[in-house]
């Protein structure tokens, strides 16, 4: 474990050691986190690639002053050609093996999905704590990046001098002040307690691994808001450092496609977490008072689902479509209602909705030589109630977390309402998705007319029509259609000259 020192702050990198072949799961995370599906959905055109996004990479020192992913200046090599690396710490730092692999997965040309991201600003972790968070030294500075990656953790047994609570408060305030998305890695030890700083912050997105091999559970009694669930999200990768960087890459891609309101940290956090999938992780669950799984958080990050939530647009309270997001402003004792419909032609629908809000803090500068500090304001208690008619069928009402989650793996057709309530004024990011499930059928075949009937469709869904002229089947795609209703007729534009033809339907767009 690397434990480099910068000034008085001792830091531990998330990884135990760099292994040969580190980052070997790069191709796999793109598959399991939905990037391949997104690329196919957009036919490779206009796929968000991080263009225009400024990356921030903060790294623990490794073997002296090594913290850069690449030498400062113009990038070279397969992964970094076309990138510009800025050493903000500016002490003539060298390249770290850990930092290099993080950079590969965050904004590299091959391992990341952010091929269009050009600029990366880099800090040593100690410099970030001393000169951005300004621990014991006044108010926090500005942080220019749009997405910040923190693939390191702080363990209290390494340095009894630092104040983890102060670091967490300052980072939460910095996120509010500078408006960036902070992706923070937990450690790779399932037997260890959660790290003392960074991960316990309210306003970050903490990241683990889809295998569950990471520190997870409830924030410690020694930090503000004990009993909150961490991490918020997981990604398939070899180590938490790399999974965090992959999550940062997906966040940067989404940021590059987002309007200003969706770029806000609480909204993007909701979009990312609502897009997460559950079936790939073991035994995911939640309760009314525990909105996230105590190992996997919201589940496996899925950039395809999150992108579709994002482009569905900002939806105000009222009747809303299958996907969307909102930045909801509520006053004291405020409430809002959203109405959702599962189409009667669907058999059922998976439904996922997330509400997130940031904690705010106020700076107090006492007279005399004592340094100023950030004191947390009262955290709004936001609750969710999901109704089928007059009956509440699910609630999310954690007394401590700043996230709430409604999730149904299968929800029958019908009309449902969500009520959002708060005790104190709150700015709440809301995001949701409904994935309709249906078994389409090919019926009423008419070989002479080369016309077939398609039944049990989901209105507005896309289907691929495939044909085989032989048995055993050899399928080839003939068309992609959007269902105008529960059934439709389709005519083969070039029917076979004679003999038999066999047709089948595949789900096109989920």
160: pLDDT strictly greater than 60 = no
Q: Regarding predicted confidence, which is higher, 370 or 133?
A: 133
State the CB neighbour count (10 A cutoff) for residue 510: 16
φ, ψ of residue 113 to 5 degrees: the values are: -105, 5
- The CATH architecture of the domain made up of 318-437 is Sandwich (2.60)
Residue 98: C-alpha distances to residues 18, 64, 83, 465, 472 (Å) = 7, 13, 18, 47, 51
Give the architecture (CATH level 2) of 5-13+26-312.
3-Layer(aba) Sandwich (3.40)
| Helix (H) / strand (E) containing 268 | helix 265-274
Least-confidence region, from 32-36, 175-179, 243-247, 392-396: 32-36
| Tokens, residue 69 | 């992913």
Whether the link from the prior residue into 231 is cis, omega within 30° of 0, is yes
Parallel/antiparallel/unpaired status of strands 502-507 and 9-10: unpaired
Q: What's the token pair of residue 82?
A: 């076309």
Cis peptide before 472 (omega within 30 of 0): yes
Q: How confident is the model at residue 34 (pLDDT cuts 50, 70, 90)?
A: very high
pLDDT at 6 (0 to 100): 42
Q: What is the pLDDT of residue 17?
A: 27
d(CA 422, CA 251): 28
- Say if residues 382 and 405 touch (Cβ distance below 8 Å): no
User: Which pair of structure tokens corresponds to residue 256?
Assistant: 């590059």
CB 471 within 8 A of CB 480: no
Band (277; pLDDT cuts 50, 70, 90): very high
Report whether CATH 2.60.40 matches the domain 441-507.
yes
pLDDT of residue 265: 98
Q: What is the mean pLDDT of the chain?
A: 89
Let me know the angle formed at the C-alpha of 299 by 36 and 416, rounded to the nearest 5 degrees.
100
Q: Going along 143-281, which residue ranges are E strands?
A: 147-150, 152-153, 181-185, 205-209, 217-218, 229-230, 233-235
- The pLDDT of residue 10 is 44
Higher pLDDT, 365 or 244: 244
> What's residue 3's pLDDT?
33
pTM, 2 dp: 0.85
Stretch 248-253: mean pLDDT, rounded? 99
Confidence of residue 16 (pLDDT cuts 50, 70, 90): very low
Percent of the chain with pLDDT over 90: 69
Q: Are 161 and 154 in contact (CB under 8 A)?
A: no
Q: Where are the domains of the chain?
A: 5-13+26-312, 318-437, 441-507
- For residues 356 and 269, the answer to whether their CB atoms sit within 8 Å is yes
Mean pLDDT, range 429-439, rounded to an integer: 88
Distance CA 233, CA 114 (A): 20
**Structure confidence at residue 7 (pLDDT):** 46
Query: How many of the other CB atoms lie within 10 Å of CB of 316?
Result: 12
Backbone region of residue 38 per phi and psi (left: phi > 0; alpha: psi in -120 to 50; beta: other values): alpha
108-117, 347-356, 402-411, 479-488: the lowest-pLDDT one? 479-488
- Three-state SS for 333-401 is CCEEEEEEEECCCCCEEEEEEEEECCCCEEEECCCCCCCCEEEECCCCCEEEEEEECCEEEEEECCCCC
8-state DSSP, 505: E
Tell me the per-residue pLDDT of 198-241, one tens digit each, with 9 for 90 and over. 999 999 999 999 999 999 999 988 889 999 999 999 999 999 99
Its sign, for the CA torsion 145, 146, 151, 156, is positive
pLDDT at 336 over 90: yes
The answer, yes or no, to whether residue 485 has pLDDT greater than 70, is yes
Give the pLDDT score at 153.
Answer: 86
**Average pLDDT for residues 421-436, to the nearest whole number?**
97
Q: Which pair of structure tokens corresponds to residue 237? A: 């990768």
pLDDT of 2 over the 50 cut: no
Q: Are 248 and 149 in contact (CB under 8 A)?
A: yes
156 band by pLDDT with thresholds 50, 70 and 90: low
**CA–CA gap between residue 33 and residue 139 (Å, rounded):** 38
């Amino acid at each position: 474990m690397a434990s480099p020192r910068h000034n008085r702050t001792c830091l531990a990198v998330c990884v135990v050691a760099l292994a040969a072949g580190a980052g070997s799961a790069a191709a796999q995370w793109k598959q399991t986190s939905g990037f391949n599906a997104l690329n196919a959905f957009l036919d490779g055109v206009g796929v968000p690639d991080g263009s225009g996004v400024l990356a921030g990479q903060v790294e623990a020192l490794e073997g002296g002053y090594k913290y850069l992913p690449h030498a400062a200046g113009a990038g070279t090599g397969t992964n970094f050609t076309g990138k510009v690396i800025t050493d903000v710490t500016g002490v003539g730092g060298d390249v770290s093996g850990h930092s290099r692999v993080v950079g590969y997965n965050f904004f590299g040309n091959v391992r990341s999905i952010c091929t269009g991201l050009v600029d990366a600003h880099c800090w040593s972790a100690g410099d970030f704590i001393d000169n951005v968070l300004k621990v014991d030294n006044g108010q926090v500075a500005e942080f220019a990046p749009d997405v910040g990656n923190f693939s390191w953790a702080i363990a209290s047994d390494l340095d009894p001098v630092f104040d983890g609570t102060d670091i967490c408060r300052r980072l939460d305030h910095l996120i509010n002040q500078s408006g960036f998305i902070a992706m923070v890695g937990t450690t790779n030890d399932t037997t260890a307690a959660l790290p003392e700083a960074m991960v316990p912050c309210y306003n970050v997105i903490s990241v683990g691994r889809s295998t569950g091999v990471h520190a997870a559970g409830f924030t410690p009694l020694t930090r503000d808001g004990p009993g909150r669930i961490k991490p918020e999200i997981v990604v398939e990768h070899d180590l938490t450092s790399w999974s965090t960087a992959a999550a940062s890459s997906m966040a940067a891609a989404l940021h590059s496609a987002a309007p200003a309101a969706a770029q806000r940290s609480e909204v993007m956090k909701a979009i990312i977490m609502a897009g997460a999938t559950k079936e790939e992780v073991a035994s995911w669950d939640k309760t009314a008072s525990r909105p996230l799984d105590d190992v996997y958080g919201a589940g496996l990050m899925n950039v395809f689902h999150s992108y579709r939530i994002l482009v569905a647009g900002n939806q105000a309270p009222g009747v809303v479509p299958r996907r969307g997001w909102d930045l909801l402003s509520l006053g004291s004792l405020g409430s809002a209602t959203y109405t959702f419909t599962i189409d009667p032609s669907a058999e059922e629908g998976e439904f996922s909705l997330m509400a997130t809000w940031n904690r705010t803090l106020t700076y107090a500068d006492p007279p005399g030589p004592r340094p100023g500090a950030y004191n947390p304001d009262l955290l709004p208690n936001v609750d969710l109630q999901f109704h089928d008619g007059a009956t509440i069928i699910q609630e999310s009402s954690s007394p401590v977390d700043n996230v709430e989650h409604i999730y149904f793996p299968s929800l029958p057709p019908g009309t449902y309402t969500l009520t959002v309530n708060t005790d104190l004024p709150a700015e709440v990011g809301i995001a949701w998705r409904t994935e309709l499930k249906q078994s389409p059928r090919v019926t009423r075949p008419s070989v002479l007319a080369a016309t077939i009937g398609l039944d049990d469709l989901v209105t507005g869904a896309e289907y691929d029509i495939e044909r085989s002229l032989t048995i055993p089947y050899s399928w080839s795609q003939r068309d992609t259609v959007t269902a105008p209703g529960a059934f439709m007729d389709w005519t083969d534009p070039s029917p076979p000259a004679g003999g038999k033809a066999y047709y089948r339907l595949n789900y096109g767009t989920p």
